[in-house]
Amino acid sequence: MKKVYDLKKWNFEIESLGFKKEVTLPHTWNVDGEKEVQLYRGCAEYKTEVNIENAVGKTAILYFGCAYHTANVYVNGRLAGYHAGSGYTPFEFDVSDLIKNGKNTVRVTVDNYKSNSMLPHALDYDWADDGGLIRNVTLTLGNDSDIWYFDADYTVENINGNFCDGVIDIYTDSEQSAEIQVIEYKTAQTVLTKTIPDGCSEISIPFKNLKLWDTENPNLYTVKIKTENDETSKRIGFRTVEVKGAKVLINGKEIYMKGCEWMPGSHPDYGMAEPLEHSIMRLSQLKNAGCVFTRFHWQQDTSLLDWCDENGLLVQEEIPFWGHPKKATPMQLEIAKQQADEMIYYHSHHPSVICWGVGNELGGEFPETIDYVKQMYSYFKERDPSRLVNYVSNSVCRDGNIDLDDATMYGDIAMWNEYLGLWQPCDDIEGVIKRTYNKFGDKPSMVTEFGLCEPAFSGGDETRTQILLERIPIYKSLPNMCGYVWFSLNDYRTHCGEAGEGRLRRRVHGSTDLYGNEKPSYETFSKIK
């Protein structure tokens, strides 16, 4: 059996500031220490030690939930690997040749200085740029013959009410004989068993009458593979998602997606290193408000997506390509493809993730943006045809743009951010909403942001409530609108915020405050069906 070392305790240092302390992961320095540390953008160092018995001849994999944003990793003074271009996707290195018996040192340099060679690009995004090892780090030790790669994909071939028939496809790097078990997550009851013979790394297993996963009945199954010396598992949920005409279907049934976006990393005491318990409280506020859908502007930790799986919250997880450059270059395309590969590899088993997002507010009328969206749509679909792929536009409803081509037309759902009368000046809000909607014809559409940002715009939470009560009836009157997303659940920390300073710099955009305390507009939103 493999052994997993959870690397929690580290010595942390910002050499240029003379700042040192012991920290526990997850950690970001941008809510830590004095003001100069909280405002620091640049390189910092983490260092830890792990004692390993019988390390020689073993396979060792060093895993990072993420490091924001660029990391160099050293094991016993030797470079193990380099991860760049993405600050929110997981990554791992094979360090088998670098470990030794006894004490091993792991050192990581992390840099959160603005960069043109990553996504999010430079400082062209609207959330906190907290640096650090903001998710977990583990070292897994085992034998070459252990199971190091395991995936369980499936095809639903027939749906009968809340049950389905189909095929589970198993992929593994172990060619030893193994037992496959499919176990119902809630009851721990084994519902299917199959033996893989020696020398077989792929097998298809038919199944019948297993429960479907959906927002009301988030039924999950654990697929476990066990050899003579090792075992591992992956949790899945059986469901289909597709667009037919102007409808979005889950398991063949039309769904209307009431949504709200929560901006993680906003509690001033935690920043982007917030503990799972705090994240669950915020996600629970979405569910308690009747939401079945949310967007994540940037990739999240798998433990957070586990909660969405267990509680039936649909997710669009997005590549954090936001704002600029509005004319994507080959560099942004290649970085986006790297992130897409990492998203699919680490997160495609989550049934809650029904959409991949390729960008937000990039100037959808520009040919370069349209070409980028087309290419990324194809890239995702080739690798994961089981999900929808979308782009979110803020240009499609601008005066003079409604008659223009727009990149959002090339996703499965036409998604658009609607701030008419606010960020988008307008004297005929309802008319422009309807004309924009009509542009999409038989394509499903969804307003993926609407709300009030203070202090850029006045009126406070009373106006926020008024926007809710005025806009949602308009959206719901349009038959091809498949849902809407309120922005946002919370006031949120952002480097470009108009209120506060340091770790309190924020946008007052939410129906709760930075700490999750609910405002009157939250109750109004919760009552809207």
Please report, as a single letter, which amino acid is at residue 26: P
Which pLDDT band holds residue 44 (cuts at 50, 70, 90)?
very high
Question: Between residues 408 and 400, which one has the greater pLDDT?
Answer: 408
**What homologous superfamily is domain 262-527 in, according to CATH?**
Glycosidases (3.20.20.80)
Distance CA 72, CA 525 (A): 44
Which pLDDT band holds residue 403 (cuts at 50, 70, 90)?
confident
3-state secondary structure of 273: helix
290-317 tens-digit pLDDT: 999 999 999 999 999 999 999 999 999 9
pLDDT at 201: 86
Mention the CATH class of domain 150-228+230-242. Answer: mainly beta
Burial class (CB in 10 A: 0-12, 13-18, 19+), 462: exposed
Q: What is the DSSP letter of 443?
A: S
Cα angle: 347, vertex 66, 135; to 5 degrees: 95
- Which helix (H) or strand (E) is 102 found in, with range? strand 102-111
Average pLDDT on 170-180 reads 91
106-133 tens-digit pLDDT: 999 999 999 999 999 999 999 999 999 9
Name the CATH code of domain 3-142 (choices 3.40.120.10, 1.10.10.60, 2.70.98.10, 2.60.120.260).
2.60.120.260
310-367 tens-digit pLDDT: 999 999 999 999 999 999 999 999 999 999 999 999 999 999 999 999 999 999 999 9
pLDDT at 414: 98
Are 164 and 176 in contact, with CB atoms under 8 Å apart?
Answer: no
Which pLDDT band holds residue 481 (cuts at 50, 70, 90)?
very high
N- to C-terminal Cα separation, the chain: 50
Share of the chain above pLDDT 90, in %: 95
pLDDT at 152: 96
pLDDT at 175: 81
3-state secondary structure of 362: coil
Q: Does pLDDT of 43 surpass 90?
A: yes
Are 107 and 47 in contact, with CB atoms under 8 Å apart?
Answer: yes
* pLDDT averaged over every residue in the chain: 96
Average pLDDT on 457-482 reads 97
- Which helix (H) or strand (E) is 36 found in, with range? helix 35-38
Distance CA 20, CA 14 (A): 7
pLDDT at 359: 98
Mean pLDDT lowest among 128-142, 312-326, 393-407, 448-462:
393-407
Dihedral sign from CA coordinates of 43, 85, 370, 345: negative
Which pLDDT band holds residue 400 (cuts at 50, 70, 90)?
confident
Q: Please give the model's pTM, rounded to 2 decimal places.
A: 0.97
Which pLDDT band holds residue 401 (cuts at 50, 70, 90)?
confident
Domain locations in the chain? Answer: 3-142, 150-228+230-242, 262-527
Average pLDDT on 265-275 reads 97
Share of the chain above pLDDT 70, in %: 100
pLDDT at 200: 83
Which pLDDT band holds residue 34 (cuts at 50, 70, 90)?
confident
Are 255 and 244 in contact, with CB atoms under 8 Å apart?
Answer: no
